[in-house]
Amino acid sequence: MMDAGSRPAESELASAAIALDAAGEQAAARPTIYVYEAPVRTCHWVNALSILVLMVSGYLIGTPPPMVAASGNFVIGYIRFAHFAAAQVLAVFFLVRILWALFGNHHSRQIFYIPVHRKQFWKDVLHEIRWYAFLEREPKIYVDHNPLAQTAIFTGFTLLVPFMIVTGFALFSEGAGIDSWQHELFGWVFALWPNSHDVHTWHRLGMWALTIFLMVHIYAAVREDIMSPQSIISSMISGVRQCRDNRRRGAAPICSKPRRVLLLGIGNILWADEGFGVRAVEEFHHRYAVPAEVTILDGGTQGLQLVNYLQESHRLIVFDAIDYGLEPGELKLVRDEEVPRFTGVRKMSLHHTGFQEVISACCLLGHCPKHLVLIGCQPLALDDWGGPLTPAVRNQIGPAVELARFILVEWGVQVTPRITPLRKSEWLLANGIDHLHYEMRART
């Protein structure tokens, strides 16, 4: 698979959408992230329409109503034509979808695998099941599909659709003849089921399985669009995932009182991708202004010196380079009690152990932040002394910043895009080690 960072940064990030009222004042600011590229969206809707036509026409072919069966107007012929045409369209666009998974961004590959080896994935699946069963008060935020949706789509689409394509073309080859390309490619199915009625039966069972999957998929998408702060259906039209502030919909703010919030970037900018956390918090500071109760801090490799900052904070967001064992440049968001559990993750440098000790020290002192969020990026290069961030990681700074804004909006924090650039005296990093100047030197 291609490196996720090989795509242009513009394909990963859409700028925040800002609505203005009649007086030209900012009325709403909603963080947005570009997730689904145009080929993904096109394949999604074409495949959805094809499957719908196939289900209806397939049912009528298998169980024709009496008025259709007795009709002398070639109705069944038209239905069969619609079925065969939709099948070929589905086969073509399913192949296109597979090809785009090789060349698109890392979001386009998500439905083609399940990380069965990751315990955290299954814990997230359980959380989503509880959320759909109304046993959890708040949903987790995911940039692309949540783990339960990923599992369902992989099972109900990625595995089931090829089965339907193969068995469908095998059945079609019976009428097309043994000299047809359909028989050449799919005739082997009858070696598994010599009786074609068995193939018909399995194909029809697959249709009912697709019907159930489609119903559940539509329900889940509509439910999430209504109940979660993220856009779902519109994201598959525009490609943009948008975070809606619950206060815009008349709900009470999630964070009703001002609470101290710490936005922290940790890492070492001298070791290539190890500097991701520092560069992310630096970029956030350049893009957005936040209220006085929010502290933006370059934590570097200070370790236990950060204890005082954490003790003063009610909520904490951390940017860092974390080896999750994912593709280089892939982002992962971890929350609350799950954050300390990542002590089992392979350490990227000494500062990781130091920050875990910071959290432990705060807990021992009884003043650990109540809410923790870790926005981690899978690094590629960590042994390049003085080197810049690799493209895979650098291109994820923007999406990571927007994820942090998602979280702050969820907490009821007002985040305002900066209209005028920061003065140099307001930069988090100066003296030539800011991201722009450091990267220019590192590349020469």
DSSP-assigned states of every residue in 196-263: HHHHHHHHHHHHHHHHHHHHHHHHHHHHHHHHSSB--TTHHHHSEEEBPPGGGGTPPPSS-S---EEE
Neighbours of 429 (CB within 10 A): 18
Opening angle at CA 42, ends 150 and 400, nearest 5: 50
Residues 206, 215, 114: CA angle, nearest 5 degrees: 70
pLDDT value of position 348: 46
pLDDT score at 95: 95
Rounded (10°) angle between helices 75-103 and 38-62: 150
Tokens, residue 443: 């590349």
Between β-strands 331-335 and 240-242, what pairing exists: parallel, antiparallel or unpaired? unpaired
Q: Which residues contact 28 (CB under 8 A, 6 or more apart)?
A: 18, 19, 245, 248
CB-CB neighbours of 239 under 10 Å: 19
Which pLDDT score is estimated for 275? 79
- Give the strand order in the sheet containing 315-321: 294-300, 261-266, 315-321, 371-377, 331-335
The answer to whether residues 360 and 340 touch, using CB atoms and an 8 Å cutoff, is yes
pLDDT of residue 256: 38
The pTM for the full model equals 0.60
- Coil, strand or helix: which one is 167? helix
Report pLDDT for 254.
Answer: 39
Phi, psi of 366 (to 5 degrees): 80, 20
Q: How far apart are CA 243 and CA 105, in angstroms?
A: 21
1: helix, strand or coil: coil
User: Sign of the C-alpha dihedral, residues 105, 110, 116, 118?
Assistant: positive
- pLDDT for 258 equals 44
Query: Rounded CA gap, 110 and 87, in Å?
Result: 24
Rg over alpha carbons for the chain, rounded to the nearest Å, is 26
Across the chain, which has 444 residues, the per-10-residue mean pLDDT values are 34 36 40 80 94 92 70 76 94 94 85 84 88 83 83 93 94 87 89 88 93 92 84 85 54 46 80 80 83 77 64 78 76 70 46 58 65 81 69 84 82 79 62 52 50
Domains of the chain as residue ranges with CATH: 38-238 (1.20.950.20), 256-443 (3.40.50.1450)
Concatenated DSSP letters of 85-101: HHHHHHHHHHHHHHHHH
Q: Is-contact 241 233, C-beta < 8 A? A: no
Amino acid identity, position 421: P
